[in-house]
Amino acid sequence: MITLFLILLAIMLYGIRFSSYHSDYITPESTNAIKGVFAVIILYSHLRGYIVLSDSISDQAYLFAVKGFGQFMVAPFLFYSGFGIMESTRKKPQYFKHFPRNRILKTLLHFDIAILAFLALMTILGYRYPLVNYLTCWFGWKSIGNSNWFIFDILALYSLTYIAYILLKATANGLQAKHICMATSILSIALWIFLRLSGKDTYWYDTILTYPLGMWYSLYRTPIESLLIRKKPSILILAGICTIFVVWHYVFFHDPSGIGSYLFCMLVVCSSTKIRINNAILQWLGEHAFSIYIIQRLPMNLFQFFGWNESPYLFALISIPTVLVSAHLFNRLLAKADSIFGF
């Protein structure tokens, strides 16, 4: 099974570029390639939940890699999302005018289209869930066989960002981006507390504060980049973050505070100024990252129903290409839905 990670590594190495400083390290194209990498790692992680691995070195190495990434594999998506929103807030004066429609409702629509597919398949396969699942699965609070917690979190974070804007617009004169950032951070902490007290598993909230971290990075990227562009300071910063991250992760492997996630995001960002991974395959994966995430359990659940997961290698061999093809088709479906609903 470790061959799957070796294939991913080979894809990452194709077209890799090294430099003392890549000025385009956080452009949409560069971050899209990075998202493509983590979309595949998430796919590998979910694949593990359907199979029983052997004690072979290959299988255990695969398991070690998946466990090693843990929740870090989703943190960059939240970080880059917060970063992108703050960049747009600073550069587009009317950005929040259409924010509910373009960010919240569009994401909800895409998710609910997938939910309809899961509802149909799981019903046909004979699965039944409590009533509360059927009522709350549409915004990610409960599941009907689909992945859900990330969607709930991102919808909640988008909503809190807009609430922060509305509240500040009504009370503050000369509203600035930093005010929205500060208010969103406070509301995100409140969300963290709510999810923790509600009894949700740790993975529901241990990465959500990387979203406001991305917003803060956008605000202070200029002074940060002034250090990263210089060779010696950038190396010291990268080495320092890497050391602290490794030590923190080793000491606090179960880290509900999410500090390890913040360090991991900064490690990814700083590393991307030195190492540029980008090619057509990673771009495609990044463009389909949402669909890969949200649709992957559909074929996996189907193949598990037929018992094909009894052979881990067969299950991986048929699941991965099926997920990628399904993600492509789902992306096309979402494009048609967007045109119908005017997104």
Using pLDDT thresholds of 50, 70 and 90, give the confidence band for residue 173.
low
Yes or no: say if 212 and 185 are a contact pair by the CB < 8 Å rule. Answer: yes
Residue of 51, 71, 72 lying closest to 62 (CA atoms): 51
Looking at the chain, the whole-number percentage of residues with pLDDT higher than 70 is 98
Residue of 19, 17, 20 lying closest to 227 (CA atoms): 20
- Using one digit for the tens of pLDDT, what is the confidence trace for 223-247? 999 999 998 889 999 999 999 998 8
How is 282-338 classified by DSSP, letter by letter?
Answer: HHHHHHTHHHHHHHTHHHHHHHHHTTGGGSHHHHHHHHHHHHHHHHHHHHHHHHHHH
**pLDDT of 177:** 85
Yes or no: say if 184 and 164 are a contact pair by the CB < 8 Å rule. Answer: yes
Q: Which residues lie across from 17 on neighbouring strands?
A: 276
Alpha-carbon gap, residue 171 to 169, rounded angstroms: 6
- Using one digit for the tens of pLDDT, what is the confidence trace for 255-266? 788 899 999 999
For the question of whether the overall pTM of this predicted structure is more than 0.85, the answer is yes
Yes or no: say if 127 and 145 are a contact pair by the CB < 8 Å rule. Answer: yes
Residue 216: phi and psi, rounded to 5, are -65, -35
End-to-end, the C-alpha distance of the chain in Å comes to 40
**pLDDT of 170:** 64
pLDDT at 299 over 60: yes
Q: Which residues lie across from 276 on neighbouring strands?
A: 17
